[in-house]
Amino acid sequence: MSKVSWRRRCSLLGLALLAALLSGCDLVQRQSIFDPLGPIAQQQMSLFFWTLWLSLIVILGVGGVLFYAIIRFRRRPGDDSIPPQTHGNAVVEIGLILIATIIVVLVAIPTMRVNFAIGVRPELTEDDIHVKVTGYQWWWKFEYPDLGIVTANELYIPRGRRIVLDLRSGDVLHGFWVPRLAGKMDLIPNQDNRMWLITDDNTPLGEYFGQCTQLCLGAHAYMRFRVYVVEEDEFDAWVDSFQRIEPLRSSTEAGASAQLVQSDDPLVQQGAQLFRNKGCAACHAVKGQFGGAPDKPNLTNFGLRNWIAAGVLENTPENLARWLRDPQDVKPTNYMPTLWAEDDPNREAEIQAIVAYLHSLGRDPNAPQAELGGNYGN
């Protein structure tokens, strides 16, 4: 078998593999920049495609001339003559410089326009929703300083309002990105980065997927978050669900905090006791009940959350139990300790109690079971 046919076979195989790979591409996805749903992401995609089409024209133009020259001027069999030797061609050279200049201008003007429209560090105004975002290995703290809210991994934003995000890191480099709403920006230790995003009437209400985009070791791929775009009144209700909780007045009050749990359900009461006695409360704050630590996920209104472990599992009782039973199995390398030995006879009962307690947070005990949680902003 000749070399040529092998080469042809290889390239055919390569093309078939590429086709198979590309057939798996779906441009409309939860984290696709090709399916933008916010004005900023839309401008960025338009700019991207404008540059892409221009580049395509350049590639086709240059490639076409190259192919034409290769085929038209190739050496013919039996022809050993030297082609005419030339040097320089003023028309071609000036023409190419002009074309190149026009292309650069055509790329530069829209790029500058988009950059000045969305890339400039915003000044905070009274109409903005101000959120301090802190990246930790491997979760997100979302703090609304004007509203007195500290939460984790789920960002609520009212549609149509400008959101100003101050991005910090609590440890290593992270990257904030909600592909369908806005561009991304890094969270860098000891540097104050600020970005903004906005939604409009064309932005569907609901859940948007976000992801850390800088390799921050360990569970980087599991450092996800969600953005919930809601109507103004639903946002106000969400804010109110935090603001109506009376804060702890002193740290000594936290000791008696199990009594602060408002539920009559004995399982929830037991869960609150365990939450303190097992040490959960040393890290996790619950407004009005436990002080926690500022650099660990705040679990206030945890019952209203849709996801567990920074967007890894849906917040169902079964999944929460699985997470508590073996956090490393759900999200390898994370810093949540395993609190029960495998042969601990009380393990399942205690986990059920803590699940009941956590799921009671922020939920109306009189609401029918079917409506509890998992439906905020969906």
Binding site for ligand CUA (CB under 6 A): 135, 138, 174, 212, 214-216, 220, 223
Comparison of 122 and 218: residue with beta carbon closer to ligand CUA? 218
Q: Would you say 135 or 311 has its CB closer to ligand CUA?
A: 135
Nearer residue to ligand CUA within complex by CB, 335 or 340: 335
Which of 182, 213, 188 is closest to 117 using CA atoms?
182
**Choice between 205 and 215, CB closer to ligand CUA:** 215
Residue among 135 and 158 whose Cβ is closer to ligand CUA: 135
Q: Between residues 214 and 298, which has the closer beta carbon with respect to ligand CUA?
A: 214
Measured distance CA(212)–CA(225) in Å, rounded = 8
User: How near is the Cβ of 214 to ligand CUA at its closest, in Å?
Assistant: 5
Structure tokens at 367: 């609401």
Shortest Å, Cβ 176 to ligand CUA: 9
Q: Which residue lies nearer to ligand CUA by CB, 149 or 223?
A: 223
Residue 135 or 179: which CB sits closer to ligand CUA? 135
Give Dmax (Cα) for the chain.
101
Q: How far is the CB of 280 from ligand CUA (least distance, A)?
A: 23
CA distances from 293 to 21, 201, 308 (A): 46, 39, 19
Strands 313-314 and 307-308: antiparallel
- Smallest separation (angstroms) from ligand CUA to the CB of 300: 23
Minimum gap (Å) between residue 319 Cβ and ligand CUA: 22
Nearer to ligand CUA, 18 or 215 (CB): 215
The CA distances from residue 233 to 150, 155, 236, 239, in Å, are 20, 16, 5, 10
**Least CB distance to ligand CUA at residue 337 (A):** 21
From the CB of 189, what's the least distance to ligand CUA, in Å?
Answer: 12
CA distances to 237, 244, 287, 289, 337 from 299, in Å: 18, 16, 8, 10, 16
Least CB distance to ligand CUA at residue 172 (A): 7
CB of 213 to ligand CUA, least distance (A): 7
